[in-house]
Amino acid sequence: MTVLGIDVSPDLLDRWVDWLAPDEQPFFVTKKQATAWKLATDDREPSRENRDTYLTYAVDGKAARTAWLSEAAYGDLPQATRAALVRAQVNYDRGAVPTVRKWARIVGPEVRQQADGHRFVWWKSLLREPARVLPEIVSEDLGPSRHAEVRTWPAALPRVRELAGTFPDGSGPNCFGTVMAACGVEGAESVWMVREPFEEWLANHTERGGKDDAPGTVFVWRNTAGLVQHAALTIGDGWMLHKPSQSWMTPRKVRTVAEVKRATRTAGWRLERHKLIG
């Protein structure tokens, strides 16, 4: 199976199922809702995959309580409660609350009865044919990796070809680690690389400048406060390697420089170029 032009192994597909539909998933509620719907809440820390599947960082702050429900516990709730609970997730901007209209024909008509008839949540019982569901979810809003179109790989950056067109083993690996790994930092592609070590690496291994059509130019986007927000690496002939986010859904992919610049254009961000030294 290929997704975004990238081979996906059966093992990775199984892990995607677990990350999209874990055995227990978080439902965000207010204290009043938790009481009215008789939901037990706790403050356990979500996994990195939970964070990215459910966009926990974007959930409305007024939904300060979290109920962790299994499919069985969710199914035991009264229909009216399930409907109200799912509508609340949409209102609070939780992720992974898809529309019945889009998915009923693929996963089955039972999703119409799961909640309010308009939205539902993913459980493993709905993923009997994961190859019909996960590729579309993972590729939503993302262009494919074009690594197969690259004719000349940069000899000075030997790991670029190895990394290009690969999915991570989970959430965490991000744009900073991808750039550092492609430039020779061992293991950087597998960790959640925060700003400080990336800035240190940038200061020690690059200088300002570089050309868009030559390999080894590091693009760095900063916000108005000067904080680095994204990074990518040119690999020559107008191609660029980048990872759009830290999510398990986003691969290390090759796009044209123009495509990456267009996709990364954000109000308040400014672009810097750095060239590798040494």
Radius of gyration of the chain (CA): 21
Q: Give the integer Cα–Cα distance in Å for 243 and 178.
A: 7
Residue 28 has pLDDT above 90, yes or no: yes
The structural domains of the chain, with segments of one domain joined by +, span 2-138, 147-276
Q: What share of the chain is helix, strand, coil (3-state, %, to 5)?
A: 40, 20, 40
Whether 275 and 218 have beta carbons less than 8 Å apart is answered as yes
- Side-chain half-sphere exposure of 245, counting CA atoms within 13 A: 15
pLDDT tens readout for residues 122-140: 999 999 999 999 999 999 9
What CA–CA distance (Å, rounded) separates 160 from 235?
8
- How far is Cα 147 from Cα 164, in angstroms, rounded to an integer? 6
What is the pTM (predicted TM-score) of this model?
A: 0.94
Check whether 278 has a pLDDT greater than 90: no
CA dist 139 and 93 (Å) reads 20
d(CA 221, CA 16): 30
Question: CATH class for domain 147-276?
Answer: alpha beta
Backbone angles phi, psi at 198, to 5 degrees: -65, -45
Q: Is the dihedral of CA 206, 211, 217, 218 positive or negative?
A: positive
Question: Tokens standing for 217?
Answer: 């130019």
Rounded percentage of the chain residues whose pLDDT exceeds 90: 99
Q: How confident is the model at residue 158 (pLDDT cuts 50, 70, 90)?
A: confident
What's the 3-state SS for 42-108? CCCCCCHHHHHHHCHHHCCCCCCEEEEEEHHHHHHCCHHHHHHHHHHHHHCCCCCCCEHHHHHHHHC
Segment 83-130, tens digit of pLDDT = 999 999 999 999 999 999 999 999 999 999 999 999 999 999 999 999
